[in-house]
Amino acid sequence: MYLMNWKDKIDNVVKEHLDLQIRKTYDQEEAFNKAGNKANAQLWIAIANLSREIFELNLKLKYLERQLKNKEIKKIKNLKKY
């Protein structure tokens, strides 16, 4: 009986993200190869990578929000002059 690879059943858009996360975990291959359960270690590394990405995006978002807020404050101050 032929077993199809489970990844072949994933939507292509999602599969691109999955493949990217799998590739990124291999940056830490030495670490997960020393784990008792390599698959679990690789999953935790993927979770940590995603967490780092979310953290970095939040930093960027907060920076952009501050810039917009400062721009609005300047705009309001300029309107009050008139």
pLDDT tens figures, 9-65: 999 999 999 999 999 999 999 999 999 999 999 999 999 999 999 999 999 999 999
Residue 82 pLDDT greater than 90, yes or no = no
Whether 53 is covered by a domain: the verdict is: yes
User: In 10 A of CB 39, how many CB atoms?
Assistant: 9
Number of domains in the chain: 1
Q: Is the pTM above the cut of 0.85?
A: no
38 inside domain: yes
Give the count of alpha carbons within 13 A of 23, CB side only: 6
Strand segments, DSSP code E, in the chain are none
Domain that holds residue 75: 11-80
Dihedral pair phi/psi, residue 81, rounded to 5°:
-65, -25
Q: Return the H-helix or E-strand segment holding 45.
A: helix 38-80
Residue 75 has pLDDT above 90, yes or no: no
Q: Is residue 3 part of a domain?
A: no
